[in-house]
Amino acid sequence: MQTVSEAQKIEYTTELNVYIEDFFTLQIKKAAEISPYYEALWQEISRLIHAGGKRLRPRLTILAYQALGGNDVKSILPIAVAQEFIHLAMLIHDDIIDRDDVRYGVDNISGSFKKIYKQYVSNEQDRKHYADSAAILAGDLMLSSAYQLIAEANVDAQTILEVQRIFGRGIFEVVGGEFIDTESAFRELGDIRSEAVARYKTASYTFMVPMTVGALLAGASKADQAYIKEFAENIGIAFQLQDDIIGVFGNEAVTGKSTTGDIREGKRTFMIEQFYELASEDQSQTFHEFFGNQNVTANDAENVRSLLVESGAKQKTELAIAAYEKRARAAIENVELAEAAKNMLEEFILIATKRVK
């Protein structure tokens, strides 16, 4: 098994981005044959995908592929990129649902078309509606394109269909997680807990699908695929819980994101659920004054943080992360891996669970 040098990793990032760029160049050209307006829609999607994204999912596919002994990354690039496309599709639709206009620090599809339509539609609500309509269609295009890309990989047709099956299951789960998350904003979902949302909204299509697919493409046995999947699921949930902590306790200068946003929004994460279980009546009462309050000050936010620490909610979340991490390690120990592969996965565990941004 080959060791992957840093230089090769960088090369794949470039290749991923070149692949994405070539894809959009071609689609924009094809769209122009239908209409310059359709061309403009594709250009907006291209602009957005080039504006950001850490290409986490494609990298995870390549990581699992290499860790399990795959050595022809070029042949599977389209499948790696497809993971990014489905992610973008979900983000575009998610932003409509969350009524967000910004993504990666730039206008998303809705945000951009709101500006484009300004000269045509004077009524603000109508303008938003048409901009959202463009975004609905843009998401559909990325969803369909993801499947198309998978089919383009230079691997045998039977394997491609198996990849699509895993991929489809991921979409089924992420949409489920997204739907529960959306409904939880306005209705009491009883037994639904943030852990389920973390599992289905994040762990499934961000970790399990890309890594399982990578293992499959490397020719891993069914058993090893299952272990990789279990590894990815546990790391994925740990990643999400860590994300929840960073959302409240992170260093704004490092994360580039507001750390009062989640408090202002009253976002019900795993850590918040722990708080409700652990807090005294007094603590809960103080908490409610600030949590979900649109006008929280920096001081109020600091109070919330203290309560999360004092109640033990933060610690319990950290313990949960450690437990998921342990389960992930246990799963991967069942797989026979070269030393280099073990190091790759170990490095990844640290990035996912110890990160501060």
Question: Which residues are at the interface with a second copy (CB under 8 A)?
Answer: 27, 30-31, 34-35, 37-38, 41, 89, 93, 96-97, 99, 117, 120-121, 126, 129-130, 133-134, 136-137, 139-141, 143-145, 147-148, 151, 156-158, 160-161, 164-165, 168, 171-173, 175-180, 182-183, 185-187, 189, 192, 196, 200
Kindly state the smallest distance separating residue 283's Cβ from a second copy, in Å. 28
Q: Are 316 and 274 contacting, i.e. CB atoms less than 8 angstroms apart? A: yes
Q: Is 190 left (phi over 0), alpha (psi -120 to 50) or beta?
A: left
| Residue 188 phi, psi dihedral angles, 5° rounding | -75, 115
Q: From the CB of residue 121, how many other CB atoms can be counted at a distance below 10 Å?
A: 16
Kindly state the smallest distance separating residue 216's Cβ from a second copy, in Å. 15
Q: Are 202 and 118 contacting, i.e. CB atoms less than 8 angstroms apart? A: no
Kindly state the smallest distance separating residue 125's Cβ from a second copy, in Å. 8
**Which residues, in sequence order, are CB contacts of 347 under 8 Å at separation 6+?**
none
**Which residues, in sequence order, are CB contacts of 121 under 8 Å at separation 6+?**
127, 130
Kindly state the smallest distance separating residue 113's Cβ from a second copy, in Å. 10
Closer CB to a second copy, 94 or 300, in the complex: 94
Kindly state the smallest distance separating residue 256's Cβ from a second copy, in Å. 27
Kindly state the smallest distance separating residue 350's Cβ from a second copy, in Å. 30
Kindly state the smallest distance separating residue 258's Cβ from a second copy, in Å. 23
Closer CB to a second copy, 26 or 330, in the complex: 26
Cα-based angle 134, 151, 94 (whole degrees, multiple of 5): 30
Q: Is 70 left (phi over 0), alpha (psi -120 to 50) or beta?
A: beta
Closer CB to a second copy, 168 or 219, in the complex: 168
* Residue 50, CA distances (Å) to 3, 16, 18, 163 in order: 29, 11, 11, 25
Radius of gyration of the chain (CA): 21
Kindly state the smallest distance separating residue 119's Cβ from a second copy, in Å. 9
Closer CB to a second copy, 172 or 276, in the complex: 172
Q: Which residues pair with 102 in a beta bridge?
A: 107
Closer CB to a second copy, 117 or 249, in the complex: 117
Closer CB to a second copy, 61 or 110, in the complex: 110
Distance CA 214, CA 220 (A): 9
**Which residues, in sequence order, are CB contacts of 266 under 8 Å at separation 6+?**
291, 292, 293
Closer CB to a second copy, 9 or 193, in the complex: 193
Closer CB to a second copy, 51 or 185, in the complex: 185
